[in-house]
Amino acid sequence: MKPALALILVICSALAAGAAETDNPVLDPIPAADVSLEELKWLNRPVVVFADNPNDPAFQTQMRYLAEDPVELIKRDVVIITDTDPDARSEVRLTLRPRGFSMVLLDKDGDVKLRKPLPWSVREIVHAIDKFPLRRQEIRDERLNSR
């Protein structure tokens, strides 16, 4: 892992943990050019939002949805990655190969669990994540640790 990116991920995790305790938490998106999916493996659940242009109405809507309720995403170790420049050919774009607007949800093991051609609300995303086997194991572990 690149030392600078590792430091950024540690800082973002710490900020996200602190943000979950405040009244107005924020989950800032990370540009796809600044991250490798491999570096997030087993640490985070990436929600990758693609568009061919940052002015795409579907992209704007998806980003608004994600900003409305970041607490539930933070609880599930979600990181938001954005890519609105097909010409930049980021590693994330080359790996996931979207067409136009796309919202892609990966689990902590790096597997693509969901691809959507339309924006999804945080409620829908969280509902999908809570069905993942890894998330179900996390919930079981949390219950056992809280006893």
Q: What is the extent of the structural domain holding 39? A: 3-145
CATH code (residue 14) = 3.40.30.10
Q: Report the candidate in 76, 82, 66, 54 with the shortest Cα–Cα distance to residue 26.
A: 66
**What pLDDT shows up at residue 146?**
84
Instruction: Using CB atoms within 10 Å of the CB of residue 15, give its burial: 0 to 12 exposed, 13 to 18 middle, 19+ buried.
Output: middle
For helices 57-68 and 122-129, what crossing angle results, to 10°?
70
**Beta-strand relationship, 112-116 and 78-83:** unpaired
Number of domains in the chain: 1
For the stretch 63-112, pLDDT in tens is 999 999 999 999 999 999 999 999 999 999 999 999 999 999 999 999 99
In this model, does residue 7 exceed pLDDT 60? no
Predicted TM-score of the model (pTM) = 0.82
Angle at 121 between CA 120 and CA 126, to 5 degrees: 100
Tell me what the pLDDT averaged over the chain comes to: 89
